[in-house]
Structure 1
Amino acid sequence: MTMGVQKSDPIIIVGGGAFGLSTALHLTRSGFTNISVYEKDDHIPPRYSAANDLNKIVRAEYEDPFYTDLTIKAIAEWKTPLFAPFFHQTGFLHCVSGDASQKAIDTLARFRASAEKNAQIKPHVVPLDNVNDVRQACWQLDGPLTGWNGYLNRFDGYAHSGNALAAVYRAAQAAGVRFYLGEHGAVDEVVYVSTLQGRKSSGIRTKDGKFHPSSLVIVAAGGAVGRLVPELGKKVVAKSWSVAHVQLTDEETSALRGIPITYARDLGFLFEPDPKTNLLKICPMGGGFINTDPKTGISHAPDTLEESAFVPDHDEKQMRKLLAHTLPALANRPLVKRSLCWFADTDDSDFIIDYVPGTSDSVVVLSGDSGHGFKMFPIFGSWVSDFLEHSRQRNAQWRWKQTDPNAEKGNWGGDVSWRLGESLELKDIRPKVVSKL
């Protein structure tokens, strides 16, 4: 058993996205003094991070009360001075349309029950039993809203995720965290040495060939985690969902100021437009996309951003259908800034905050945001700090879970109840490229 890491020991964090930055901030708050963050992009927010985005939903209702309680704590922290500029408590209008499948209807009912069961959230929940109720909750939705029903939760909202990352980056720098960005920050591998106790990491090697020693390596590399921590196997896969935007005028943006996140469980969701860029973000509901390596059977995020700079036709149809239901004036507008947003997905949607087995407690993996991790950004790093103080993961949900390496994995993460649809392979949905002669 190792002694654990000392406050003055050199610690390297790989990845300058949400989990890495939150960890850097909280470790400095806990008195750790020798922290370096390595990030392959040349700026933060990094373009490879799922959190490099206009907004992410911050909703408190989960089917598992463990996560509901944590989100209530996170929302309290979103209201503190560092995070408050990026949190907008617009409410979460959560419905199904008249065409919804039974799975979508049942999932909505469970979310609603979770919200109504929690004493802190219940006073903020407004039932929306029919289309008129939906219009009362948000008068700007002037589409047919055919068959829509559900609830509005005013406790929820969204965060401007890209700007929140930039603010925490500045705060961590001010607290003494060193950042290595671009070619100096691109990590090629975690380096190991053999000791009497077994294999132990001695640091990292960056793509420029340089070795950087450390006592502890914390890997928070999002969808790229599998390449640096191959021990994860199929426990974590890189997965993506489509994102696109509608470019509005100043007047259109102003008219939609303050609308709740509008989420039809069977269609997708949209946010109030960003006043700085006049972009309205929209996402379709679906099983997402994976990029499986035929040799290993493991899904990795693509190496280049260009490979993800599109959305498949089916998803575009879904997004236009959502707009036709809600804001029909926008339904035929061009969709701009289209991309697939890659994240690290676990099959049970739980995070992983634990030592990598067989590394003598010298490598920690932070992974499995599973498309719902960003709402925890203000407090995520406190769990890492707590974990290091105790030298073990006290929450069973976040421990390293052994899985059968030979198990066939079909619809990865599709058993998670709040997702609808099958996972598709990136190679099957890529736009056909015309050869450049």
Structure 2
Amino acid sequence: MVYGKDEAILIVGSGCFGISTAYHLLKRGFKNVTVVDRSDILPAPDAASTDINKVVRSSYSDNFYARLAQEAIQSWKTKEWGNTYQESGVLVLGSSSDASKGAYTNSSYENDIAIGSRVNVLKDGDAIRSVFPKGVKVASFQDSSGYLNFDGGWANAAQGIRLMTANVIAQGGNVISGKSVVKLLRQNHKTTGVQFADGTTFYASLVVLATGSWTASTFPDLDFRGKCFATGQSLATIQLTPQEADVYRNCPVVLDFGKQFYTLPPNEDNIIKFALHDSGVIHFPIPGKAISTPRTILSHPQDGLSIPKTKVRALREHLRGVYPDLAEKPFAATRLCWYTDSPDEDWVIGYYPSDPSLVIATGGSGHGYKFLPIIGCIVADAIEEKLDPSQAKRFAVDRDCTQLHSGRTSAPEELDVEGLCSLEDLLPDFNSS
């Protein structure tokens, strides 16, 4: 369906997908674009895109995403993003003895070479250790091999969202906080608007749902055919002194696909973040309804940032396999970062079947943020029905989606709220207690 530039477009969700879509629609001349978000504070404190930093890499086993990430990285380098993007390089690791744990890294290397990335092959532990600055104590990397991709790094995630939000407003877009959508309004099998929790309504010619990990639980009547389920990924941080942070400041991002773990250099506040890149946890708060729902700092202020004790243990163990000294420090904070996962890890972008007034833009699957500068262009193409047919098929809401992606093949665990970590669990003697 073709929409006029003056028709009302409502985007629900102001995270990566939503705010980027608004930005690109406004750039194309659409004049009546409104973004609403459930959070009173923007960026939303519990959104996946609101974080101290995110990895920005072109290292994908899928050539499509490798090339798209390369395009995004070029956009990150433009002046409108200021210092949001930091090109620290990305150390991509895999197992040198287990072929199954090295397959993703090997495929990523081939794709990085194909797109012309600047890379340095690292065949063993000695070569890997050589890429770290002098004075940084690192592990042996005895069973690892990989490569250093110089064309990558990390982005200040929350800053990127704030900058794009300001740009949307500067272009005439409306961004409204504190409006939680509870219902889609429909007439003659078409979406005509939304109803908010406060009873008010908003009518629009087109509604775009960019609600991230809240998509399935907020709209249980929509059939996503298993493509939008919320999973919580465990991360932790360590607060360093300025002197300690300076030691690690120039380290690359370490992304170990074999161990499903990554860590980033310290940010400007001297905080170092590290996380698990596994299948995460799922949460079913409503008995009898198998719809995973995020459990965050907004829904559970007391312990919404806590992660399972088992994940704390795994994080410390993996951190010891990179930076042994840091692994002996107390963790400053933890968080379950909630993603919208699809089994094939492809995004969900396109018109909802049989409804020409409803577009879905979600399914980040833990690898959406790095595309913030350009992902809205894909959504805008879908809205204007200009999307390349191969991409439209890849992202379709009703596509067949039965094959698990090779990056994260294990099943997610159900969240045990009785087994969440306490402050004591964040101390460095946790493993021996």
The TM-score normalised by the length of structure 2 is 0.89
Preserved CA contact (<8 Å) 2:217 2:291: no
Give the counterpart of 2:360 among 358, 361, 365.
Answer: 365
**Separation in 1, partners of 2:155, 2:147:** 21
Structure 1 position 271 matched with structure 2 position 277 = no
Q: Indicate the SS of the match to 2:165.
A: helix
- Tell whether 2:229 aligns with 1:237: yes
Superposed, 1:96-115 pairs within 5 Å as: 96=94, 101-115=98-112
Shift of the 110–201 alpha-carbon distance from structure 1 to 2, 3 Å rule, reads: same
Aligned to 1:209: 199
Q: Is 2:181 aligned against 1:187? A: yes
Q: What residue number does 2:79 align with?
A: 81
76-85 or 289-298, which moves further after superposition? Answer: 289-298
Indicate the residue corresponding to 1:138 in structure 2. Answer: 132
Alignment of 1:312-323 (within 5 A): 312-323=308-319
Report the Cα distance in structure 2 between the residues aligned to 1:155 and 1:314, rounded to whole angstroms: 34
Distance 2:139 2:411 in 1: 28
| Matching residue of 2:350 | 354
Q: Residues 340 and 363 of structure 2 are in contact (CA less than 8 Å); yes or no, is this contact kept in structure 1?
A: yes
Aligned counterpart for 1:311 among listed residues 307, 313, 336: 307
Aligned partner letter, 2:61:
E
Q: Provide the rounded CA distance (Å) in 2 between the counterparts of 1:286 and 1:349.
A: 13
2:373 aligns with one of 354, 378, 393:
378
Cα deviation digits, residues 371-405 of structure 1 (max 9, x gap): 0111111001111222222276732211122559x
- Return the alpha-carbon distance in structure 1 between the equivalents of residues 35 and 136 of structure 2: 44
Counterpart of 2:174 (choices 175, 178, 196) is 178
Q: Is residue 36 from structure 1 mapped to residue 29 from structure 2 by the alignment?
A: no
**Which 4+ runs in 1 deviate beyond 4 A?**
none
> How many positions carry a matched residue from both structures?
411
Alignment partner of 1:259 out of 251, 255, 259: 251
Q: Which amino acid aligns with 2:273?
A: K
When residues 310 and 239 of structure 1 are mapped into structure 2, their CA distance, relative to the original with a 3 A threshold, is same
Shift of 1:329: 1.8
Distance, in Å, in 2 between the alignment partners of 1:402 and 1:420 is 20
Q: Letter of the aligned partner of 1:31 in structure 2?
A: G
Query: C-alpha distance in 1, partners of 2:347/2:421?
Result: 35
Aligned to 1:419: 408
1:290 matched to 2:282: yes
The alignment partner of 2:10 has SS state of strand
For the 8 Å contact 2:231–2:279, the answer to whether it is kept is no
* 1:83 positional shift: 2.1
| In structure 1, C-alpha distance between the alignment counterparts of 2:184 and 2:95, rounded to whole Å | 48
- Find the aligned partners of 2:150 and 2:156 in 1 and give their Cα distance: 18
Residues 29-84 of structure 1: CA deviation (Å, up to 9, x unaligned): 00011111111112222113101011111111222211111111111111111224
Change in Cα spacing, 1:374 to 1:432, as seen in structure 2 (3 Å) is closer
User: Secondary structure of 1:331's match?
Assistant: helix
**1:48·1:305 contact (CA, 8 Å) conserved in 2?**
no
Match of 1:133, SS state, is helix
CA deviation digits over 1:175-217, x for unaligned, max 9?
Answer: 11111112xx2111111112xxxx1111111111001111110
Alignment equivalent of 2:335, drawn from 332, 335, 339 = 339
| Rounded Cα–Cα distance in structure 1 between residues aligned with 2:311 and 2:177 | 34
User: Which secondary structure state, in structure 2, belongs to the residue aligned with residue 111 of structure 1?
Assistant: helix
After TM superposition, the score normalised by the length of structure 1 is 0.88
How far does residue 101 in structure 1 lie from its aligned partner after superposition? 4.8
Moved more, 304-313 or 145-154: 304-313
Shift of 1:127: 1.0
The alignment's C-alpha RMSD in Å is: 2.2
2:154 is paired with a residue whose SS is: strand
Q: Aligned pair in 2 of structure 1 residues 68, 392: CA closer, same or farther (>3 Å)?
A: closer
Greater CA drift, 170-179 or 301-310: 301-310
Between the aligned partners of 1:297 and 1:186, the Cα distance in structure 2 is 22
CA distance in 2, matches of 1:103, 1:392: 34
1:129 to 123, 131, 142: 123
CA distance in 2, matches of 1:169, 1:36: 11
Report the equivalent of 1:400.
397
CA distance in structure 2 between the partners assigned to 1:423 and 1:264 by the alignment:
19
Q: CA deviation at 1:289?
A: 0.9
Q: Which of 62, 65, 89 is matched with 1:64 structurally?
A: 62
Gapped regions of structure 1 (runs ≥ 5): none
Say whether residues 1:219 and 2:209 are aligned partners.
Answer: yes
Give the match for residue 425 of structure 2: none
